[in-house]
Amino acid sequence: MKILNTKRLLAGLLAMTIQTAHAGGGGGGLAGGATELTQLANKAQLLLAYVEQTQQTVHQFNTYMAMLQSLKQLTPSNLVDNQAFKLWQDNGMTQTFHDLYQVVNNGQRIAYTLQSQDSMLRSLSPGYGQYANFDFQSGYKNWSDNTRNAVVSALQTGKAQAEDFNSEGDMIRELTNRSHSANGQVEALQAGNEIGIAMVGQLQKLRQLQLAQMNAQQMAKLSEQAELDGRPKKYDGGCDRILSGDEIRAIRRRGENAMDYCR
């Protein structure tokens, strides 16, 4: 599965989108294709943002874990849980987990959308299948399955159950229970850190799949555009060639229709 350089691919996409937008009567399929390509490009940028956000989340977990371990060493055992709970609240750790939960969910949504878009492209763009020489349907399904498996494995590391994170409400309740003790926080942080590390890798893989799909569609649209460029241009109600002003006036003087000279 060959991946083009991202900057080159997005630059080529932008240029092609502009060209197809100005194609006028060049065909609704091309205009629609430009829109689809733009949507794919937006998703590529969104996935990159999710990767960076998740990397920052992992950094927050590691920073907080260091703070928590220091607090446990410096605080009397009978006070450590209360102080740990205050530390958790002061650093907004529940929100950090909420953000990670949203990244996992959004990644799954994007994979499902891209899978559906692949099916649509194969039906609407005849040349797409020629360039999409990779089974994107299986690729996106495998990505979703592997992502869920990674999350389940990470939760087991933190002594949690997958059912505890089936919904945002379940996650908040579980984290609230664990945040009241220092040891519970450590378990939650271990799970969160494992999920974050796994998601960085998974989102990068999803982005590679998505860029390969975008590359295939771009190549198909460029091929269609080249085919159209090789044909005589036809305009609804217009001419195959441009008549000069003198020609038009001469035709009118003869009482003839200028459109007869366009056929």
pLDDT tens string, the chain, 263 residues long: the values are 443 444 443 444 334 333 433 444 444 444 455 566 677 778 888 899 999 999 999 999 999 999 999 999 999 999 999 999 999 999 999 999 999 989 999 999 999 999 998 888 888 777 777 777 788 899 999 999 999 888 888 877 666 665 555 666 777 777 888 899 999 999 889 989 999 999 999 999 999 998 888 888 888 777 777 766 665 444 344 444 455 556 655 665 676 654 555 54
pLDDT of 182 reads: 94
Residue 11, pLDDT score: 41
Q: What is the pLDDT of residue 25?
A: 40
Query: pLDDT at position 132, please?
Result: 74
Overall pTM > 0.85? no
- The pLDDT of residue 234 is 43
- Provide the residue ranges of all domains of the chain, joining segments of one domain with +: 6-17+50-229
**Cβ neighbourhood burial of 193 (10 Å; 0-12, 13-18, 19+):** buried
| CA-atom Rg of the chain in angstroms | 28
